[in-house]
Amino acid sequence: MTGANERPGRRVEPDRIAIIGAGHVGATTAFALMLRALVHEIVLVDRNRALAEAEAADLSDANALARPARVWAGDYADAARARIAILTAGGATHGAQDRLSVAADSAVIVADCVEGLIQAGFSGILLVAANPVDLMTLVALKRSGLPASRVIGTGTLLDTSRLKQTLSEALGVAPASIEGYVLGEHGNSEVAAFSTVRIGGQPLDRFCKDADRPDLDAMSTEVRDAGYAIVEGKGYTSFGVATAIVRICEAILRDERAVLPVSTLLTGEYGLSGLCLSLPCVLGAEGVHRILTPDLEPPEQAALAASAKILRTAFAAIPVRATAD
């Protein structure tokens, strides 16, 4: 259904999700949301209106065959009433290009989108996927004026999923049965915190016999660079991140209180504050209910501090207009 604009208002439609940016990530997220039947209304907003309309029409074609949802190309007035607005509009990277290199371009786009949402009266939860996601989460937080608990970045949920998949292949255990986290930046300075890994309650050291202990350095490099390899091959990534986005939406919409690593504003955790990066968070109806601080090995904690330093420096280099409160 297209062209169903509505007047802005503070009323939140509990069954509506807005996706700002109907490109690869946005359209795949809409598809994944439909298949999961999480909401009945999905509004796509894109500066390329024709693209949003085409994606909405294509997705609507699945309605008779899947669990039906009303999907349409709308504007910020439609998006303002959504329970969750997912921000996927941002600068794209190529090959092994560092996500931080598109920070300035992305920040302008994210600031524009957030302004559009807030001016239209948005008061829901803002879920940021645009890269570099930790910096864009902070831009969105500052520009929106929303409480920190309601501005969330997809962060290292995707990297954590990649880590579990890699461990699963090495250890012969289902990825969903492995606990463990990638923390810090979603990017080159991310920290695969192997000390947090548990399989059936057992740490990695106890689970692995000496002979089959995996090469953890090689594994963290593989996880860190996985996105680059995919972008090299197909030009973008979409399925992994879309599934991570949907998982976060599910935790919020169902008030699950699920523990997921997402990017959030730090307020003293590990001595860090004033920046967004990923730590395990309890996610529910209000967004981030609690930030958890697992015991880390000293080198992991040092790597987390180094990751925070890199993000702080990169944020300071973004032109002021995009980052101002």
Q: Does 25 bind ligand NAD (CB under 6 A)?
A: yes
Question: Taking Cα atoms as reference points, which of 53, 123, 47, 54 lies closest to residue 82?
Answer: 123
CB of 25 to ligand NAD, least distance (A): 3
CB nearer to ligand NAD: pick between 26 and 284: 26
Q: Does 92 bind ligand NAD (CB under 6 A)?
A: yes
Integer Cα distance of 68 and 311 in angstroms: 41
CB nearer to ligand NAD: pick between 236 and 270: 236
End-to-end alpha-carbon separation of the chain, Å?
Answer: 36
Strand partners, 45: 20
Q: ∠73-74-75 over CA atoms, to 5°?
A: 145
Stretch that binds ligand NAD, among 31-39, 56-64, 91-99, 118-126 (CB under 6 A): 91-99
Q: How far is residue 10 from each of residues 62, 77, 121, 123, measured CA to CA in Å?
A: 31, 10, 6, 7
Q: Does 189 bind ligand NAD (CB under 6 A)?
A: no
Q: Does 139 bind ligand NAD (CB under 6 A)?
A: no
149 token code pair: 């608990």
Choose, by CB under 6 A, the member of 72, 77, 131, 310 that binds ligand NAD.
131
| Closest residue to bound ligand NAD by CB | 23
Stretch that binds ligand NAD, among 35-43, 108-116, 141-149, 189-197 (CB under 6 A): 108-116
CB of 44 to ligand NAD, least distance (A): 9
Choose, by CB under 6 A, the member of 13, 19, 24, 189 that binds ligand NAD.
24
Which residues, 6 or more positions from 25, have their beta carbon under 8 angstroms from its beta carbon? Answer: 88, 129, 236, 237, 238, 241, 242, 245
CB of 182 to ligand NAD, least distance (A): 11
Cis ω for the linkage preceding 8 (within 30 of 0): no
Residues annotated catalytic, as ranges = 186
